[in-house]
Amino acid sequence: MDKPILVFQTDFTYKEGAVCAMYGVVKSVDRSLEIFDGTHEIPHFDIWSASYRLNQSMRFWPKGTIFVSVVDPGVGTSRRACVAKTCDGYIVVTPDNGTLTHVKAHAGIQEVREIDETRNRLKTTEGTHIFHGRDLFGYCAAKLASGIITYEEVGPGYPVDEIVVHPILQPKLSHNRAEGIFEINDPNFGNLWTNLPAKAFMECGFALGDMVDMTIRHGDKVVHHEKALFAQSFGYVNKGETVIYTNELMNIGVATCMGSFCETWHVDYGSDWTVTFQK
C-alpha cells in the first residue's frame, strides 16, 4: 500500500534553512516519503491565512494525504500541538491555534489528538523550543506517514469541540443586493476574494454581463465605489478595468485586468473590509 504524501505549508519563506531542515528530518525518518510544498509564503504569524490556504487546496489531493501546517506564533507555549482527521479523509498536523478553522467548517473534523512530545518529538534537539515545525510537527508527521506509529499512537485524543477556531462571517443576501467581506487575497495578482458564494450571488439576481454597483468600506469609511462588469473571466474588460468574477473556489472575486486591484485602490482583506454589490 502506498505511503501517504506529505504537503507542507508555513510562513518560513526560503530565506534561510528552516524548510530544508524540516524536509531533512522527514527523509531521515523514511527516505521513501514524498514531500510537496503547499506554500511557504503565508504572511508572518497570519493564522487566518494558514487556515484558508489549507482548505483551499486540500480537496484536490489524494485521500489520506497528510498536511503539515506551521504558522505558529505561540511556539513553545502551552498551545496544543495536534493531529486532526478530517471527515473527508485527510490528516492535518498543526498547532491547534485556529489553523483548523476553515477545514472544520467546510470538511468537518472526525477526530483530533494531541501530540505526545515524550514519544513523538525529535530527541536530538530537546534543548530548544522555538522550531516545532522541524522538531515536532515534521517529525511526528513523518513517523505517521511511514507507519512507524499509528494514528492512535500520536497521543491522547480530545474533544473536537475544544479545537480553537476563529469566527467565519456569513454574507448578507437579499434581492439585487449582496454584502460580504474580503476574506483573503490572491497575492501574486492583487485580486481579492469575498465570502460570497457565486451560486448565492446569482440567486440574489446578479447575472453575467451585468454592470454591478460596488462599494468597499474599511470599517465605516467608504474607500472605493464604482460600477464594474460581472464576467466569467478577466479578458472581458480592458486592461486596467475592474472585473467581478467567480474565483477558483466558486466565490465572488474582484480583480483589475492585467493589474493589481489591491494596489490600485489601496484595499486589503479582513473582517473590517466589507464589500456591497447592488444591481
Residue 116 lies in a domain: yes
For β-strands 6-10 and 66-70, DSSP reports them as parallel
Total count of domains within the chain: 2
272 and 187 in a single domain? The answer is yes
Residue 240: give its domain's CATH number: 2.40.30.90
* Mean pLDDT for the stretch of residues 59-85: 97
CA distance 99 to 68: 11
176 and 225 in a single domain? The answer is yes
Its sign, for the CA torsion 47, 49, 50, 52, is: positive
177 and 205 in a single domain? The answer is yes
Selection from 89, 38, 87, 84 nearest residue 64 by Cα: 89
Residue 18 lies in a domain: yes
Residue 144: give its domain's CATH number: 3.40.50.10790
Residue 146 CA to its chain's centroid (Å)? 26
Which amino acid is residue 57, in one-letter code?
S
Selection from 236, 184, 228 nearest residue 39 by Cα: 184
Q: Where is the domain boundary, 162, 191, 210?
A: 162
Helix (H) or strand (E) holding 261: helix 261-265
pLDDT at 82: 98
Burial class (CB in 10 A: 0-12, 13-18, 19+), 50: buried
104 and 187 in a single domain? The answer is no
157 and 264 in a single domain? The answer is no
* Mean pLDDT for the stretch of residues 252-271: 97
233 and 188 in a single domain? The answer is yes
219 pLDDT more than 70: yes
Q: pLDDT of 101-156, one tens digit each?
A: 999 999 999 999 999 999 999 999 999 999 999 999 999 999 999 999 999 999 99
20 and 153 in a single domain? The answer is yes
Selection from 32, 20, 19 nearest residue 145 by Cα: 32
pLDDT at 190: 98
Q: Where is the domain boundary, 130, 162, 194?
A: 162
pLDDT band for 1, please (50, 70, 90 cuts): low
107 and 202 in a single domain? The answer is no
Angle between helices 139-146 and 18-29 (to 10 degrees): 30
Residue 79 CA to its chain's centroid (Å)? 20
Which residue range forms the structural domain that includes residue 203? 172-278
CA distance 219 to 130: 36
63 and 18 in a single domain? The answer is yes
- Please provide the average confidence, as pLDDT, over all residues in the chain: 97
* Mean pLDDT for the stretch of residues 243-271: 97
pLDDT at 226: 98
Residue 1 lies in a domain: no
Output the pTM of the full model: 0.95
Cell 517529525, residue? Answer: 139
156 and 231 in a single domain? The answer is no
Residue 104 lies in a domain: yes
Residue 167 lies in a domain: no
Residue 234 lies in a domain: yes
CA distance 209 to 167: 34
Q: Where is the domain boundary, 100, 127, 162?
A: 162
24 and 146 in a single domain? The answer is yes
136 and 191 in a single domain? The answer is no
